């Protein structure tokens, strides 16, 4: 069974290679009546686009072209197909990789599985994170549809290399991190991240980081016992992102060091509703969303394509040799990765919201469409540079 599709009711299939003519996505199962324009998609794509400060220098405009499924700026209920053409392709950078697989990248495993003669070495082929363009396009649609439940999703970079956030962060700050070139939610952190990226670039090296995505007001009860629990679904969704090496939610791995009396989150009355005191479980208990903020984190490894020479094998003579990767690569994939994690959270939640009957399968009423549109516009306005939010 191939593995290019995700979701049961909101079903997404991504296609395309890094150095092929285009990458894109087919989204099947979007109900009719959702207001949707190319601008909505562009808004989200902009935050994973290369060619900006501190990320890959590949100069792609990432202009989405909607091929089907939308009429008069509303979804029709038909499959939505969107492509983004690859315009800044320099395959010559990959001539060396053709014979020298990169340590830490997918080159050698792809050769081992599919055969050297079938391996698309240009830009990493299907293993390239260019594929995640399709996820972000679908994520924009999912995020907008989730606005029907007034569910908002935003992420930021909790840590980069040795630097990390050590204080409380508000959802507003997390929304503003979209406009930070290093996806930081605080100005002081932004400066530290920037210094690290400059250092990595000078040294021909790279850093990893931890992305955190917060979902406000998730519908209650999402997740299907027993194999499709929300924690399992999110883990799979997020672990499928290139370069993600670990997933946690709530207290995460830290909980294993605590006593039960410390780790149990007390059930209390909050604003006349039942809730949990500290949200230690990150919004998921028993595999179901419990109405608290959904908080997930994942670790991104440092970019494997680095200038610093590293050992590999020359496949022409099977001799040990060195490779120094040139070309345009992210000094820390986690920066652009945050948007991809947000998208995978949105895709998981929207699929389950449809499975739970929270979002209609066939169509939104005109009134529902208008509510979604108003909330989306408020969301777009709320994502603004840190400086502006402090005015």
Ligand X SMILES: Cc1cc2nc3c(=O)[nH]c(=O)nc-3n(C[C@H](O)[C@H](O)[C@H](O)COP(=O)(O)O)c2cc1C
Residues that bind ligand X (CB under 6 A): 48, 56, 105-106, 127-129, 132, 241-243, 301, 303-305, 329-330, 333, 336-337, 340
Q: In whole angstroms, how close is the CB of 246 to ligand X at the nearest point?
A: 11
Taking the least distance from each CB to ligand X, the nearer of 77 and 204 is 204
Q: In whole angstroms, how close is the CB of 161 to ligand X at the nearest point?
A: 16
Q: In whole angstroms, how close is the CB of 340 to ligand X at the nearest point?
A: 5
Residue 212 phi/psi, 5° resolution? -125, 135
130 annotated ligand binder: no
Q: In whole angstroms, how close is the CB of 131 to ligand X at the nearest point?
A: 8
Q: In whole angstroms, how close is the CB of 369 to ligand X at the nearest point?
A: 32
Q: In whole angstroms, how close is the CB of 108 to ligand X at the nearest point?
A: 11
304 annotated ligand binder: yes
Distances (CA, A) of 213 to 6, 147, 197: 19, 16, 22
CA distance 216 to 308: 42
Taking the least distance from each CB to ligand X, the nearer of 33 and 208 is 208
CA distance 46 to 388: 19
324 annotated ligand binder: no
Distances (CA, A) of 56 to 182, 203, 277, 332, 368: 12, 16, 42, 9, 39
Is the Cβ–Cβ distance between 17 and 126 less than 8 Å? yes
305 annotated ligand binder: yes
Taking the least distance from each CB to ligand X, the nearer of 22 and 299 is 299
N-to-C CA span, the chain: 53
Q: In whole angstroms, how close is the CB of 304 to ligand X at the nearest point?
A: 4
Taking the least distance from each CB to ligand X, the nearer of 248 and 330 is 330
Beta-carbon neighbour count of residue 356 at 10 Å?
Answer: 16
How does strand 70-71 pair with strand 74-75?
antiparallel
277 annotated ligand binder: no
Taking the least distance from each CB to ligand X, the nearer of 156 and 336 is 336
Coil, helix or strand at residue 264: coil
Taking the least distance from each CB to ligand X, the nearer of 48 and 297 is 48
240 annotated ligand binder: no
CA distance 327 to 58: 9
Q: In whole angstroms, how close is the CB of 205 to ligand X at the nearest point?
A: 12
Angle at 345 between CA 162 and CA 88, to 5 degrees: 75
Among 309, 383, 372, which Cα is nearest to 339's?
A: 383
The H helix count followed by the E strand count for the chain is: 10, 18
206 annotated ligand binder: no
Taking the least distance from each CB to ligand X, the nearer of 242 and 250 is 242
127 annotated ligand binder: yes
For 44, residues 6+ apart whose C-beta sits below 8 A from its C-beta are 136, 137, 139, 140, 143, 339, 343
- Residue tagged 């990765």 (tokens): 337
Q: In whole angstroms, how close is the CB of 333 to ligand X at the nearest point?
A: 4
128 annotated ligand binder: yes
Taking the least distance from each CB to ligand X, the nearer of 241 and 359 is 241
261 annotated ligand binder: no
DSSP state of 282: T
Coil, helix or strand at residue 21: coil
Cis preceding-peptide flag for 226 (omega within 30 of 0): yes
CA distance 236 to 185: 26
Report which secondary-structure segment, H or E, holds 158.
Answer: strand 152-160
48 annotated ligand binder: yes
Taking the least distance from each CB to ligand X, the nearer of 35 and 134 is 134
The count of C-alpha atoms lying within 13 angstroms of the C-alpha of 213, restricted to the half-sphere facing its C-beta, is 29
Annotated binding site for FMN: 126-128, 286, 301-305, 328
Annotated binding site for NADP(+): 48
Annotated binding site: 48, 126-128, 286, 301-305, 328
């Amino acid at each position: 069974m191939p593995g290019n599709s995700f979701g049961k009711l909101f079903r997404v299939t991504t296609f395309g290679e890094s150095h092929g003519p285009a990458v894109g996505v087919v989204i099947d199962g979007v109900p009719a009546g959702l207001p949707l324009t190319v601008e909505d998609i562009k808004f989200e794509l902009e935050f994973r686009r290369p060619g900006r400060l501190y990320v890959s220098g590949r100069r792609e405009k990432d202009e989405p072209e909607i091929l089907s499924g939308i009429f008069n700026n509303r979804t029709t209920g038909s499959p939505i197909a969107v492509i983004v053409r690859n315009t800044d392709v320099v395959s010559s950078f990959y001539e060396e990789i053709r014979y020298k697989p990169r340590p830490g990248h997918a080159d050698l495993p792809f050769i081992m599985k599919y055969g050297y003669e079938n391996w698309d070495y240009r830009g990493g082929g299907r293993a390239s994170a260019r594929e995640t363009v399709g996820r972000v396009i679908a994520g924009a649609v999912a995020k907008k549809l989730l606005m029907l439940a007034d569910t908002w999703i935003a992420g930021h970079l909790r840590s980069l290399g040795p630097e990390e956030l050590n204080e409380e962060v508000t959802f507003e700050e997390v929304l503003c991190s979209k406009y930070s070139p290093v996806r930081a939610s605080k100005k002081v952190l932004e400066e530290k991240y920037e210094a690290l990226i400059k250092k990595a670039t000078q040294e021909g090296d790279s850093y990893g980081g931890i992305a955190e995505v917060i979902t406000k007001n998730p519908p209650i009860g999402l997740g299907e016992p027993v194999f499709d629990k929300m924690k399992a679904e999110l883990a799979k969704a997020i672990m499928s992102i290139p370069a993600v090496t670990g997933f946690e939610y709530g207290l995460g791995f830290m909980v294993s060091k605590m006593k039960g009396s410390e780790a149990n989150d007390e059930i209390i009355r909050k604003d006349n509703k039942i809730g949990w005191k500290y949200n230690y479980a990150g919004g998921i208990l028993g595999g179901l969303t419990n109405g608290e903020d959904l908080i997930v984190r994942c670790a991104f490894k440092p970019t494997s394509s680095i200038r610093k020479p590293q050992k590999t094998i020359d496949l022409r003579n099977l001799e040990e040799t060195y490779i120094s990767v040139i070309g345009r690569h992210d000094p820390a994939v986690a920066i652009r990765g945050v948007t991809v994690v947000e998208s995978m959270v949105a895709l998981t939640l929207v699929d389950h919201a449809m499975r739970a009957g929270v979002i209609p399968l066939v169509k939104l009423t005109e009134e529902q469409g208008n509510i979604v549109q108003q909330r989306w516009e408020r969301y777009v306005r709320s994502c603004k540079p840190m400086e502006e939010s402090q005015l």
